[in-house]
Amino acid sequence: MVDVTPVPAFSSNYIWVLHRAQTAVAVDPGDAAPLLDYLAGAGLVLDAVLITHHHADHVGGLPALQAKFPALTVCGPAGVAGVTHPLADGDRVELAPLGLSLDVLAVPGHTLDHLAYAGAGWLFCGDTLFAAGCGRLFEGTPAQMLASLTRLAALPDDTRIACAHEYTLDNLRFALAVEPDNPALHARLRRDQASRDAGLPTLPSTLAQERDTNPFLRVRVPSVQAAAARQTGEPATDDGLATFTTLRRWKDRFQAG
């Protein structure tokens, strides 16, 4: 059985560590120090790293990790410095020491090179899908991000969502601005606020929970479409892309405010 542990880094990042016996695989080690501390405390040896995209808070720890573990396998997008095993959509990562294989999914939007890793009931999705939210569009288009989210939303309901940031409470507050009458959102905010008050992560989420509470996965729900229409002053539309585009712009303003 593989254990999965979120290791906090920076102010909001998680480095996800998959481990079995004494072997570990890390996802998006933006900072080597907290990961090395965790590995030493747990008696683990790092065998491989999975990278979702090229942003510094996801790859910044690679030089120090490769210096400490010279044979380290680093899987990720081809253009990322330090990647030893370039991956593309449709590939499969075999993590033999963990007895685990993960499918590689191209999910452009946040960046053009973004990958996600899915398998064994887990989704390691970097900055594409967040708990109750999605990533900003730094390189991709709204159409690309919506297509990527739609692809992830097709995974099984019980898929555990291991995204790379603890943004859940802020995302839930925005989601409530979109759907103030959604009881699932109010219940989730209470639960997740209690987790944070106790110093615990809100993650992993599940895909079923995201379908019920994440506005970016609900762009074809009439209440979400109506909220988007109120932002634009235009009649409500069943165009999922138009709704998504409005929501993403609204969220950017919401964060800035």
- Residue 12: strand, helix, or coil: coil
Q: From the centroid of its chain, how far is CA 228?
A: 24
Q: Helix 168-178 to helix 183-197 angle, to the nearest 10 degrees?
A: 160
**Whether the Cβ atoms of residue 168 and residue 132 lie closer than 8 Å to each other:** yes
- Residue 39 tokens read as 């590995």
The residues, ordered by sequence, that sit 6+ positions from 78 with a Cβ below 8 Å of its Cβ are: 86, 87, 88, 113
Q: Which residues are known to be catalytic?
A: 53, 55, 57-58, 110, 127, 165
**Whether the Cβ atoms of residue 246 and residue 232 lie closer than 8 Å to each other:** yes
- Residue 154 tokens read as 């097709």
The beta strand positions in 38-189, using DSSP E, are 45-50, 73-77, 85-87, 92-95, 100-106, 115-119, 122-126, 129-130, 133-134, 160-163
**Whether the Cβ atoms of residue 246 and residue 228 lie closer than 8 Å to each other:** yes
